[in-house]
């Protein structure tokens, strides 16, 4: 889908409603949607039959704690396309998280001097807390490294895209007619007045900020601020950032403890810019080698 949208953006806006029908990328995307419907419909039909049977038998219907059940509860009988909902979840939660993990691994291989300090932090924290949520919270260097990676390569050069629903005048006098498309630049993330040597990668940057009185919480990966807009800002900031932080840290713990890694060619390590979006370089290749982990790996069900 991302590939299809990217290709469609190269066409004039007035031709897009027509040309997408003939584009191979969109044909594949439509086939994916069709396949997803074929997969999810039997599941939902079986659940519906199960609930109806339970009601007939005057028993409480089984509750499923998953996205399918959540959407049923929110819809309250209103029609919706469950396959599109699931694909949207996949796009917003898997695509962006995968991009972040990819960029973090590329940065790790580009700056291998951080590998051993990160491993040592894992050893120290796990020895004290075991594999628990407390462990994830206390991986402060890893948290800083991920946040620095995201600072230098956010998902986009601008964020918080909005459309004015009415004529509005900003406090400094700028007038926005109804229908205006606006967004906020992420330039503060590379401003030398905000971050010293902003274009240099410093995995300790936010760890050092934590040591400044009053900035301990502001320097955490999940914290949003005008100076770090990767997750947006305000009440519409990414609600999944807490899960993302845990997910990426668990993945990094596994990879760092189990493998040695290096880039095969640094020429493909730079992010790819497409319009206002930034993506980890999908052409980057990482060579890995199995190592003997010196810390027991995460047992299933620890979190």
Helix (H, G, I), strand (E, B) or coil at 287: strand
Tell which residue, 111, 182, 95, 98, has the closest CA to residue 148.
111
Check residue 123 and give left, alpha or beta (phi > 0: left; psi -120 to 50: alpha): alpha
What does the block give as tokens for 193? 């007045």
List of E strands, 91-243 = 158-163, 168-169, 175-176, 181-185
Tell which residue, 185, 213, 197, 183, has the closest CA to residue 148.
197
**Quick check: 89 and 67 in contact, CB under 8 A?**
yes
What does the block give as tokens for 25? 């990328």
Annotated binding residue at 109? no
H helices, E strands: number in the chain: 11, 8
Q: Known binding site: residues?
A: 238
Q: Known binding site for heme: residues?
A: 238
């Amino acid at each position: 889908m991302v590939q299809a949208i990217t290709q469609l953006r190269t066409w004039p806006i007035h031709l897009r409603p027509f040309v997408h029908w003939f584009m191979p990328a969109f044909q594949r995307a439509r086939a994916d949607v069709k396949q997803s419907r074929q997969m999810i419909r039997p599941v939902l039909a079986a659940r519906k039959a199960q609930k109806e049977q339970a009601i007939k038998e005057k028993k409480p219907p089984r509750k499923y704690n998953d996205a399918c059940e959540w959407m049923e509860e929110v819809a309250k009988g209103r029609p919706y396309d469950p396959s599109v909902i699931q694909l949207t979840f996949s796009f917003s939660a898997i695509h962006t998280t995968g991009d972040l993990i990819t960029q973090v691994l590329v940065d790790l291989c580009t700056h291998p001097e951080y590998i051993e300090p990160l491993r040592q932090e894992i050893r120290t924290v796990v020895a004290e807390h075991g594999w628990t949520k407390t462990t994830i919270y206390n991986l402060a260097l890893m948290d800083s490294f991920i946040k620095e990676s995201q600072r230098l390569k956010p998902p986009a050069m601008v964020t918080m895209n909005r459309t004015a629903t009415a004529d509005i005048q900003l406090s400094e006098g700028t007038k926005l007619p109804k229908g205006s498309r606006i967004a906020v630049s992420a330039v503060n993330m590379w401003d030398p007045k905000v971050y010293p040597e902003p274009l240099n990668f410093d995995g300790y940057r936010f760890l050092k900020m934590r040591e400044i009185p009053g900035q301990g919480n502001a320097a955490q990966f999940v914290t949003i601020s005008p100076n770090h807009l990767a997750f947006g800002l305000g009440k519409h900031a990414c609600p999944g950032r807490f899960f993302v932080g845990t997910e990426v840290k668990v993945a990094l713990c596994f990879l760092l403890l189990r493998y040695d890694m290096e880039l095969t060619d640094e020429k493909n390590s730079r992010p790819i810019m497409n319009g206002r979006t930034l993506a980890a370089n999908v052409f980057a290749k990482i060579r890995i080698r199995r190592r003997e982990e010196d810390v027991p790996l995460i047992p299933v069900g620890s979190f």
